[in-house]
Amino acid sequence: MIDVNSAEFVASFPKESQCPGDGKPEFAFIGRSNVGKSSLINMLTRKGLAKVSGTPGKTQLLNYFLINGTWYLVDLPGYGYARVSKEKQKKLANMIEGYLFNRSALVLAFVLIDVTLPPMPIDLRFINNLGEQGIPFALVFTKSDRIGKVTVEKNVALFMNELSKTWENLPPYFVTSSERRTGKEEILTYIAKNVKRL
Ligand code: GTP
Ligand code: MG
């Protein structure tokens, strides 16, 4: 796995065209608001790097973190947060898609899924859209400490089964808990492999 020796916030950007142009490989993190994205980013890097909040929908920009001086971790706004206006939601969706669909430095996106819930249509729609656009991605099931192992396995299987109705090749997936710090090595190893491949 990669040792994360340094992780620093770079800046936040309102659109893809304003993001860094140095071509360093980027790994993006996205998911429904409150899915545990900031907690996961902190587990992968260091405590306090991304803000964990009780109020969902905090992240409304493309947030760049430079890891070991060599690759960017990009924290994207959550999708489908109901408590913002329709207009704002549309703006956020455009920002997210503008980034994901145009970003040549993007190696892959990690899509976070709350494993305590059965498959959510909004997540499936988002993933199907990524697949249709040919964006490489992996799934990260979050909050696995909150439910029993059997239910975790059941919800993962239900989710993958939903995807298999549309896709022949299923994406890689990771089961994590930021609370128990599980899944960290697997994800960092996967990132390391993809950085090296470039
Ligand atoms: P927004 O940026 O607001 O959209 O949320 P987010 O996706 O960044 O989620 P965040 O990391 O802020 O976590 C949301 C809530 O879930 C917080 O109360 C966290 O403490 C909790 N949480 C996140 N990950 C885990 C986990 O692995 N286990 C448990 N039990 N709780 C978690
Ligand atoms: Mg967050």
Site to substitute for ligand 1 among 29, 30, 33, 38, most atoms within 8 A of C-beta: 38
Which pLDDT value is given to residue 53?
Answer: 66
Identify the pLDDT of residue 55.
66
Backbone angles phi, psi at 169, to 5 degrees: -100, 120
Q: Is the dihedral of CA 24, 193, 125, 181 positive or negative?
A: negative
Q: Which residues surround ligand 2, an ion (CB under 5 A)?
A: 37-38, 59
- Give the three-state DSSP class for 30: strand
| β-bridge partners, 26 | 72, 106
∠ Cα 92 96 102 (to 5°):
140
pLDDT score recorded for residue 4: 93
d(CA 41, CA 76): 11
The Cα 127–Cα 121 span in angstroms is 10
DSSP state of 178: T
Strand partners, 32: 79
State the closest ligand 1 atom to the C-alpha of 176, by its place in the atom list counted from 1: 27
Distance CA 4, CA 82 (A): 35
CB–CB of 144/182 below 8 Å? yes
Q: Say what the pLDDT of residue 32 is.
A: 93
Mutational test site, ligand 1, from 30, 38, 39, max ligand atoms within 8 Å of CB: 39
pLDDT at residue 108 in the model:
97
CA 41 to ligand 2 centroid distance, Å: 9
Q: Which residues have CB under 6 Å of ligand 1?
A: 33-39, 52-54, 56-59, 78, 142-143, 145-146, 177-179
Each residue's pLDDT expressed in tens, for the chain with a length of 198 residues: 779 999 999 999 999 999 999 999 999 999 998 899 999 999 999 999 987 766 666 668 999 999 999 999 999 998 877 777 888 888 889 999 999 999 999 999 999 999 999 999 999 999 999 999 999 999 999 999 999 999 999 999 999 999 999 999 999 999 999 999 999 999 999 999 999 876
Question: What is the number of residues in the chain?
Answer: 198
Closest residue by Cα to atom 22, ligand 1, is 36
In whole angstroms, give the CA distance from residue 45 to residue 48: 9
